[in-house]
């Protein structure tokens, strides 16, 4: 199942990329493996998948040591300040930084571990009170302070738009995120302003996200099947 799903997703990525004059290899698949056992993750790895995203630290701490060391691990869940040290020790990229306090803690623990870690800023692009993320109008200020007060590699932005059954309704949020990233890149606010990461789009709407500039799409259900909570 996973091999078939993986090939289907890859084909769709290539088709979407071709449709908007982008190179397929500029779009990276983050396989969202929360609540999935190591055997399934290994199957996806054996198909060629190399980037995996986890939401829960306790679960990730049990799985990561059991899986190939060549996997690049992204933390994509809400990160509490008191869990920053563990997150830094486990993950290569933390996609959900939304405050200076959290950034400083990540920087502190990364320095203590002599580890280089990349981060993305999570933007609450839909301004939803129940969701984490910095507000769009506060993002530039946060970027500047992280740049001046830490040594973190700020690679780009991550968003989770308001839920909709219609992927077209998420397009405007993806487009707004891309425009913000372009503005920040012009102001030289990222670590690499020529290769800014935009983590946006999931199983139901990744084709729209690709059309609007996503570099990383986070896909779980379409790859691994429905989760059993």
| Within a domain: 229 | no
The angle formed by the CA atoms of residues 51, 54 and 58, to the nearest 5 degrees, is 135
On whether the CB atoms of residues 8 and 200 are closer than 8 A, the answer is no
- Residue 197, H or E segment: strand 197-199
Cα 107 from Cα 84, distance rounded (Å): 9
Domain count, the chain: 1
Q: Give me the pLDDT at residue 149, please.
A: 97
DSSP string covering 23-48, please?
-GGGSEEEEE-TT--HHHHHHHHHHT
Give the model's pLDDT for residue 7.
Answer: 97
From CA 136, how far away is CA 139, in angstroms rounded?
5
CATH code (residue 133) = 3.20.20.10
Q: Is residue 124 a part of any domain in this protein?
A: yes
Picking from 201, 151, 143, the residue whose alpha carbon sits closest to that of residue 173 is 201
Is 54 part of a structural domain of the chain? yes
> Cβ contacts of residue 15 below 8 Å, gap of 6+?
none
Residue 150 lies in a domain: yes
Which residue stretches of the chain have pLDDT < 50? none
This prediction has a pTM of 0.96
| pLDDT for res 226 | 80
Asked if the structure places residue 29 within a domain, the reply is yes
- Provide the residue range defining the domain that includes 23: 2-224
Q: What is the pLDDT of residues 80-129, one digit of tens each?
A: 999 999 999 999 999 999 999 999 999 999 999 999 999 999 999 999 99
Rounded Cα gap, residues 215 and 95, in angstroms:
13
């Amino acid at each position: 199942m996973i091999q078939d799903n993986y090939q289907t997703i890859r084909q769709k990525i290539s088709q979407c990329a071709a449709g908007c004059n982008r190179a397929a290899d500029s779009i990276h698949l983050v396989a969202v493996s929360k609540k999935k056992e190591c055997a399934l993750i290994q199957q996806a790895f054996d198909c060629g998948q190399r980037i995996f995203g986890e939401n829960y630290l306790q679960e990730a701490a049990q799985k990561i040591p059991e899986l190939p060391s060549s996997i690049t691990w992204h933390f994509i869940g809400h990160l509490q300040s008191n869990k920053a040290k563990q997150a830094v020790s486990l993950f290569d990229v933390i996609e959900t930084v939304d405050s200076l306090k959290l950034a400083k803690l990540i920087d502190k623990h990364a320095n203590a571990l002599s580890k280089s870690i990349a981060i993305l800023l999570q933007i609450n692009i839909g301004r939803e009170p129940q969701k984490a993320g910095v507000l769009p109008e506060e993002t530039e200020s946060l970027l500047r302070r992280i740049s001046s007060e830490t040594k973190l590699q700020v690679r780009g932005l991550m968003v989770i738009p308001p839920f909709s059954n219609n992927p077209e309704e998420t397009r405007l949020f993806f487009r707004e995120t891309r425009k913000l990233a372009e503005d920040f890149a012009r102001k030289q606010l990222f670590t690499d302003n020529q290769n800014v990461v935009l983590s946006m789009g999931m199983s139901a709407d990744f084709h729209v996200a690709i059309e609007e500039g996503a570099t990383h799409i986070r896909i779980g259900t379409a790859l691994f099947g429905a989760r059993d909570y």
